Amino acid sequence: MRTRVVPFLKKLREEIIASFQTLESEANFQRDPWDYHAGEGGGEIGLIRGGKAFEKAAVNFSEVSGTTFPGSDGKGPFFATGVSLITHMQNPHSPTVHFNIRYIETPEKSWFGGGYDLTPMGFSYEEDTQHFHEVAKESLDQIDPVLYPEFSQNAKEYFYIPHRKKERGVGGIFFDHYFTGDWDKDFLMWETVGTTFLDAIMPIYEKRIHVPYSQSEKEVQWKLRGHYAEFNLAYDRGTKFGFLSGGNPEAILCSMPPVATW
């Protein structure tokens, strides 16, 4: 199973980095490999800063194994691998996007998780939201029409900021501990989520990175980024898993915006 999962993740990551780089003329992705000191394996941070399109963006890969699954009372080996990315755009009219797909094995079971969601930073366009969701729906409907409604609702519930009493953004799809008993079908669904992500986000970025903006609109973006940071530090399970598993703090905290205000 790992021999199918890991090569797919590595190939997908390179495709995403290459696609993002086509938007950027002033900065390049920098690679920073790291070792997993709590077990075996490691990963690589792919980070871009100070660009014309991307104020900060990270496209990371990890492949780790250890003796005790994080958050579990029982002891036993685990294997976890995934690609995770976040973008924080220069242009306030360009939304932040988050994407993650992961695969985890323990002695008892294996499962898939992931999804992608869109967070406008104060400037939401209905046509962008509609496009983002349509790509997700059309791709998942080809596999099973019940998936998009379920995953979309999951995203609404998961990406909710209780103390702000609002969703983090305009939604997307989210699933975790996904295992139906048919590994090949589950892998196909997971693979489809990965391969259609760029279809969901690139047309939006190609259009919005060129919209004129003012300093006051930039300040609105900074304020909404603060809400984003609050969610990631207080509620995000991926952040918690990364710290509990002894992951690289720099890779885990790549999701934090470069500038935010409260």
261: Cβ contacts below 8 Å, ≥ 6 apart? 219, 222, 223, 225, 226
Query: Which residue type occupies 35?
Result: D
**Separation CA 220–CA 135 (nearest Å):** 28
Among 38-47, 127-136, 185-194, where is mean pLDDT lowest?
A: 38-47
Q: What is the mean pLDDT of residues 128-154?
A: 98
For 181-190, what is each residue's pLDDT tens digit?
999 999 999 9
Residue 93, pLDDT above cutoff 60: yes
Q: Which domains does the chain have, with CATH numbers?
A: 2-255 (3.40.1500.10)
Residue 73 has pLDDT above 70, yes or no: no
Q: In the predicted model, what is the mean pLDDT of residues 122-139?
A: 98
- Who has greater pLDDT, 216 or 106? 216
Q: What pLDDT, on a 0 to 100 scale, did the predictor assign at position 242? A: 82
Catalytic residue among 37, 88, 93, 98: 98
98 a catalytic residue: yes
Give the pLDDT of residue 71: 61
Give tens-digit pLDDT for 104-130. Answer: 998 889 999 999 999 999 999 999 999
